[in-house]
Structure 1
């Protein structure tokens, strides 16, 4: 492994149903801050679990040097904060020793770290978590708190490599900025799965997992996108060149065959006119057939060689299917009032909100976690009752929450889309799902078995492709879990959406792409609607 902290050597992984997720992966991870990117469902989380030692590959080896600290996307709701920190066993062993226990295993757990409590308090204070009760369930933490705890645990573990799976999901703007600052200061190996373009920009290396395997790129997000475009253009050029060479060779072979047939016919006419002996005619015919046979064998070899060149060139072009997300057509009048809020008071949110929104207004709802953004959308969607005031909605409204509660994990995406849209044929609905990158096998599985990005695409399809398309669209952190290609497709769709849009997001780059008209800011001074700038 030389200077590598982690090394993949011929790593393959086969799913329980026999499908090969990836195969023959070779890679080295050192102290360069590295991001892993790729399409939803390609196997990024599985790969990082193999890197962390939580999964064994079906074939090959993952070699590790030093400790690895891993934080998955989902925190175990039954685990304590101490367990999330990774020091629960050490603290328990210290307590047993202080109570008079003499078990050698406890002393082995402590090692030289008799000041583990002091170290813990120092790390919690450094991560703005002073006074945190570590006996609380980890599930009681906010997203920002959980990430700070995970980073504190990584420092306490003296890990050689820190692995984070989508660490910025569900973090508000201040928490994202804190995360990026802490990662900039992390002194050892760092591997991050992310589609957060701002976080990707500060990575020293981006590694892409695709149908072609693992491909390493230097630099941040902008450099990665630039290199991807250059690579793809060159691969397409090589593919077109290989196809052109095959067409030229086919034309040359046909011309050669036609000339050979003409020579053969001419020779046969001349032999007949010369009244040659049958034995000479037979010998001549045998030589001619032998020559034709050799040429045919040569032609077959040439065709196969050129076909192989085309196949090789085609494999160099990543098998990407463009993600297409079609915006429903809205027939509402642009200036018609669609949302009217009159001194609306939300549960557990101070202050009141009065607001009038017309058709085709596009509002970004921003503010810190816990300030009432999601609560506002739930009230407007009828999932929560307000505690005061009133509101009205004039038009068809659709709501997509962070937890994707509109999707039943026991039912397939296709089944749920058919229930939402009874007018279109199953074939048409399958086509719509395929355009989202949800293939035949994927749409028939229980949706609970799909990746976060695949479930989000399915939920979007059920909302946008329903029998009655929405005129008012409420989206709560829709960019979470989406891969880069799907994120761009979502941005394009929302640009085309003609109705009223309210979108909650902490992803500044995502919001900036949507051509929003207003910003609805929530903070200590209550709600404020301002032009988007």
Structure 2
């Protein structure tokens, strides 16, 4: 298609609670690669779904003259889904098989379209992405989070759409696969919108869009250019605000001095008139003229004060004043040498190769970072420590109170309000304390009364972290599987800060080296070709 178009005109979205998420947005996309950024909960994923056509705006309209392929933030295949379903190619593969078996149905030919080589292209793409061991019918439930993400991304690339919309596409990917994704996207020849907090990925974009409470703003460059522009805008906004405040103070002083001079003149006039023994009718006229003059001056000052206050308010609106994110570390101090978990010659389910077996001892204040390629068994290891899976052989002993946060954020009941769930698990805290702590995570009084399922990915992760950290009694062992996914930079910094203050045992899986370095870890557990290797951090 020549010059396909994707645009929004006057779009607003109102949540079921009645809160307006954003309003009157206008944006147009062309073949430039664009990144969408913004704080957690501001509405990035909702905006992406509206652009993709999978969600209707409350007001305004979507204009699209090309095809769009949308990959949402959360990949949740059904229990019977296969790899081909995850890649959104099962319909085309099944139709192709029926045609090869003799079908002449129009819907089968429509499903295949021009993609007569889709089977070969899909198999080749799996092989090129290190997934040759997978087949179209392989159950998606067997895949790790990183493998599932890579399969879904393969499907996006095979869609041949005019526009790709990818929501947090680098989540769950190890470093080699993140770099491979960046390279793939740089070669993508058509329209692209990436919603992400991954600065390295965003530095490959040609345009950055920022969604905030003030609206949607476009910057013609990559993320580094956007960051410089934002810093300069913030500096300019602060300077303008201070200038407006200075002007307000100067004018307020000037008006006060005018009032004082007017009052002095009026007082002198009254004294002179009284001494001169003027007729009462003349005194009344002078008094009326003086009061009229004073009233006009007061009106002028009130009008000017309102104008100045409006300028100060408008200047303040241009200053970013996002509330800081704050987490509280659980108050736990187990003995450093006490054994909290022990794996003896354990064989992990669903894991093949050198990392199939492991023996491991965790002590009370050990802080362990688990690293390795996608599919090597990191998440399986955490599930086994959490008691979610049983070992095929060997024995598992966990003696400490533990909390497990998985990649899919299954700790929360998506149908129940967050505050209700927190009250049930934090008996030592009052409702007022919980409200304050949740507000410090960016979860306001309205959000915590809604079903947890309506929260954004980042908000849901912060809520899950809160449910893990604030339980009573506190956990002595935290098992976190890629907690850095979905989080904006302020939330990530807050999480790292509070995990540094946590004094219990900690096991964290992550592909973000900078995040792991910020946690004050004591050891690294590496999944390698020689098996599991533990070493000092």
TM-score by length of structure 2 reads 0.88
Given that 1:65 and 1:160 are in contact with CA atoms closer than 8 Å, whether structure 2 keeps it comes out as no
Deviation of the 1:167 alpha carbon: 1.2
Structure 1: distance between partners of 2:471 and 2:57: 41
What's the RMSD between the two structures over aligned residues? 3.0
The change in CA–CA distance for 1:357 and 1:491 in structure 2 (over 3 A counts) is same
Could you report, residue by residue, the CA deviation over 1:484-512 in whole angstroms, capped at 9, with x for unpaired residues? 22112112212222333210112233223
Q: Which runs of 5+ in 2 are unaligned?
A: none
Match of 1:164 among 166, 171, 174: 166
Structure 2: distance between partners of 1:225 and 1:480: 21
Deviation of the 1:430 alpha carbon: 0.5
Q: Which residue of 2 aligns with 1:33?
A: 33
Which secondary structure state, in structure 2, belongs to the residue aligned with residue 440 of structure 1? coil
Match of 2:422 among 397, 410, 417: 417
Deviation of the 1:251 alpha carbon: 2.7
118-127 or 319-328: which moved more?
118-127
Deviation of the 1:120 alpha carbon: 4.9
The change in CA–CA distance for 1:228 and 1:66 in structure 2 (over 3 A counts) is same
Deviation of the 1:110 alpha carbon: 5.4
Q: Which residue of 2 aligns with 1:461?
A: 466
Q: Which residue of 2 aligns with 1:439?
A: 444
Given that 1:210 and 1:318 are in contact with CA atoms closer than 8 Å, whether structure 2 keeps it comes out as no
The change in CA–CA distance for 1:363 and 1:110 in structure 2 (over 3 A counts) is closer
Given that 2:143 and 2:375 are in contact with CA atoms closer than 8 Å, whether structure 1 keeps it comes out as no
Which secondary structure state, in structure 2, belongs to the residue aligned with residue 404 of structure 1? coil
Given that 1:8 and 1:61 are in contact with CA atoms closer than 8 Å, whether structure 2 keeps it comes out as yes
The change in CA–CA distance for 1:384 and 1:11 in structure 2 (over 3 A counts) is same
Q: Which residue of 1 aligns with 2:215?
A: 213
Q: Which residue of 2 aligns with 1:17?
A: 17
Given that 1:519 and 1:530 are in contact with CA atoms closer than 8 Å, whether structure 2 keeps it comes out as yes
TM-score by length of structure 1 reads 0.89
Report whether the alignment pairs 1:42 with 2:45: no
Deviation of the 1:336 alpha carbon: 2.4
Given that 2:348 and 2:381 are in contact with CA atoms closer than 8 Å, whether structure 1 keeps it comes out as no
Q: Which residue of 2 aligns with 1:322?
A: 324
405-414 or 162-171: which moved more?
405-414
Alignment of 1:75-474 (within 5 A): 75-77=76-78, 81-82=83-84, 85-90=87-92, 94=96, 114-117=116-119, 120=122, 123=125, 126-127=128-129, 133-135=135-137, 141-333=143-335, 335-339=336-340, 341=342, 343-348=344-349, 349=351, 352-390=357-395, 392-393=397-398, 395-474=400-479
Given that 2:86 and 2:152 are in contact with CA atoms closer than 8 Å, whether structure 1 keeps it comes out as yes
Structure 1: distance between partners of 2:356 and 2:139: 31
Structure 2: distance between partners of 1:315 and 1:286: 43
Structure 1: distance between partners of 2:101 and 2:391: 52
Deviation of the 1:269 alpha carbon: 0.8
The change in CA–CA distance for 1:316 and 1:283 in structure 2 (over 3 A counts) is same
Which secondary structure state, in structure 1, belongs to the residue aligned with residue 447 of structure 2? helix
486-495 or 507-516: which moved more?
507-516
Structure 2: distance between partners of 1:278 and 1:248: 41
Which secondary structure state, in structure 2, belongs to the residue aligned with residue 339 of structure 1? strand
Alignment of 1:478-497 (within 5 A): 478-497=483-502
Structure 2: distance between partners of 1:52 and 1:4: 14
The change in CA–CA distance for 1:94 and 1:379 in structure 2 (over 3 A counts) is closer
209-218 or 436-445: which moved more?
209-218
306-315 or 210-219: which moved more?
210-219
Q: Which residue of 2 aligns with 1:67?
A: 67
Deviation of the 1:146 alpha carbon: 4.1
Deviation of the 1:329 alpha carbon: 3.6
Structure 1: distance between partners of 2:398 and 2:130: 42
The change in CA–CA distance for 1:465 and 1:37 in structure 2 (over 3 A counts) is same
